Structure 1
């Protein structure tokens, strides 16, 4: 913790004591405010919380114990490390101070070296606590906010927009077929993809925006002062940039796409959780209608654009004919194809298993993702023909 950025509030009704303590601290680089009246100090702390409060125990109007108690009752942005200056030294008095919220004590007469040493020790504790707080607030892998912190942020933003009727939008995003990235390329590759997506959000969000890793391969972004149309335009730019990203791993170059749902606060949006749920419904529609696209919740509600309805997945069956879901094409592999070729084939056509035929087109078995993963322990196996790993105990109808 840099002393030049460390704010200290000194409170003592003795002007001489205030002056000498302030001189010692300022010479060491600390930013110091002095108060002879604890009530003025309390008002200043509430407006701009310092890092340290160093206060005398016995003072008129309000003693150090009451000042410390009042400070601990405030809802501040960070914890204030509190040091008492006192002639009191009995165990009972020390316990009383600790119970009220004191962190440390300095016995009078004050020695310059001891004062600075205790402040430095307190600074180390403050730094550790802030690091722990930062770890608790951010996702360790991506550096984005966690879901818990996201909901804290949206609650505060919701209260603001309720007052001034400002627009507020939410974007939900899911990486398409992310499980296959992990299954085929391994979890380190999946982690690299997650970090690449997070970096995309870092580069394209404002200071007022709130991007978070919502869970797994799902991300969420809160966009204050943004209409649904503006949010959809922003999201479409993100979608295109994501599709152009190439994540390089030791053995492969990975490209992914994403599905996005966009929703904006309307007059009938009763709470922040409803806004997030509407964005999630739009995301579900994007996934159901082909993925790698942006869907707006208002389009679903109006019945325009995407073939989705707020009512649920069964709405997709409306006006759907057999010709639209049946294909005359049958995908298959040749038994001489390599494991590497088969893996690429399954990723391209997004299938979990496929039939295998011989040179004359006769069915000889089936190969699945599981079979390929088992065989891909060594890179040498990528050139092995799939006839060595396929299953021949196939039931046909």
Structure 2
């Protein structure tokens, strides 16, 4: 029996997928996999009339449409044109496809098509949906002095749900990038006035590494060496003009996925897996740059070393699983307190470090004491038992090299431990703060 999804309550934050397919067997598999693996809501329709009615009512709610070609009341792919005209990103699945119909699909600006030719076709479909969902948060920049080409490439990227900005030459591209530093992909022509593709790419690579910004070069030139020259100048890939739309989408997808894989590796390298705070490696690789930027803005910098009091007793009483719960809770409180303009790290075990910026007028000691009081007042549930823990903190606000500041903060943390714990120590003895 078909699920009637129109009357099902919809969580506003849950992406919604329109599935149009008359095969109950295939649709049920697709629906279950999407809901299980992606957590998206699926609105399944079996016929053209049902699907168009749903689109008319809920078109703004659909993240993507999955469309079968041969429906009982529309056997020639009519649903594709209807969905794409309503600007719904559409993925087509079919048992077979010829070149003429494939050309029509590209004309209709569909996201992609999937052949029902193997058991893995549903997995392919899932991966495309996941990619489309991620793309909506990614900014791209198209750089081309030809207005028709610029519009065509923009349309292709928007079909994939990217956020798309544009520029007519290299100089304008640099300005757009400076105003939108979160751009992740630039697709640029080679032959442009004022600043061509070579100069643009060379300029970009002086400030943006391949780990943070992907660049795809394009050109209508018949020079066989141009692609290699653009890639050597810093481009990640090259697409000749005119190009196959499928090839363009593949190269864009590969470039974005490469950035995501690099970001994942970087995250695994720089984040503590338990608490999700930064680790020591991240701290020492980024602390100097963080301090230099703060000084340039006229800000002050402080370093604090924090340690959970009597943490060994928690592990001895509740095991390491209980200790992990405490570490996660304390880490979340530290992170929420210093969520902006700070590097928050787990240095190891139950010890944490916070490097943060502030103004001359800010009372650093009161801020850390407020954190101390918040942690002391927090109850933590472990295996049905509620416990409370405290922290000791040492702070260094002296303008010294980071190694000296850390050493001083660590010394003051030791003083806090030796003088009773559950306290903040700054410039001894007058700056000591306790409840």
If the TM-score is normalised by the length of the shorter chain, which range does it land in? 0.5 to 0.7
User: What is the Cα deviation at residue 144 of structure 1?
Assistant: 1.4
Candidates 353, 363, 368, aligned match of 1:220: 353
Counterpart-to-counterpart distance in 1, 2:361 and 2:414? 17
**Structure 2 residue matching 1:126: 3-state secondary structure:** helix
Q: Distance in 2 between matches of 1:27 and 1:305?
A: 60
Specify the SS of the correspondent of 2:136: helix
Aligned equivalent of 1:285: 415
How big is the shift at 1:184? 4.5
> What is residue 393 of structure 1 aligned with on the other side?
none
TM-score by length of 1: 0.65
Q: Report the Cα offset of residue 198 of structure 1.
A: 0.5
2: distance between equivalents of 1:213 and 1:87? 52
SS at match of 1:186: helix
Instruction: Return the alpha-carbon distance in structure 1 between the equivalents of residues 370 and 295 of structure 2.
Output: 29
- Within-5 A mapping of 1:1-397: 2-49=134-181, 50-75=183-208, 79-87=212-220, 93-151=226-284, 154-163=287-296, 166-225=299-358, 230-250=363-383, 253-265=386-398, 269-296=399-426, 298-300=427-429
1:49-81 alpha-carbon deviations (Å, 9 max, x no partner) = 421111223445544334323221224696221
Pair 22,199 (structure 1): closer, same or farther in 2 beyond 3 Å: closer
Tell me, what secondary structure is at the counterpart of 1:191?
helix
Give the Cα–Cα distance (whole angstroms) in 2 for the partners of residues 167 and 86 of structure 1.
49
Compared CA separation, residues 4 and 173, structure 1 to 2 (3 A)? same
Q: Distance in 2 between matches of 1:195 and 1:77?
A: 33
Cα distance change of structure 1 residues 271 and 75 upon mapping to structure 2, 3 Å threshold: farther
Instruction: Kindly indicate whether the alpha-carbon contact (under 8 Å) linking 1:11 and 1:56 is maintained by their aligned counterparts in 2.
Output: yes
SS in 2 for 1:283: helix
Per the normalisation by structure 2, the TM-score is 0.60
Bigger Rg, structure 1 or 2: 1
| Residue deviations 1:366-385 (CA, integer Å, cap 9, x gap) | xxxxxxxxxxxxxxxxxxxx
More displaced 10-residue stretch of structure 1: 153-162 or 134-143: 153-162
Deviations 1:133-182 (A, max 9, x none): 33333221111122333345543443355456544333211112323433
C-alpha distance after superposition, 1:187-237 (max 9, x if no partner): 222211211210221333342233221222111223422569822222223
Q: Which has the higher contact order (CA 8 A, sep 6+)?
A: 1
Contiguous gaps of at least 5 residues in structure 2: 1-130
Distance 2:356 2:144 in 1: 46
Q: CA RMSD in A?
A: 3.2
Q: Relative to 1, partners in 2 of residues 1:207 and 1:67: Cα closer, same or farther, differing over 3 Å?
A: same
2:231, 2:238 within 8 Å by CA — same for their partners in 1? no
Distance 1:89 1:198, change over 3 A: farther
Q: Matches of 2:401 and 2:261 in 1, distance apart?
A: 36
Note the alpha carbon deviations across 1:108-134, whole angstroms, 9 max, x for none: 212334333432333333333223333
Match of 1:203, SS? helix
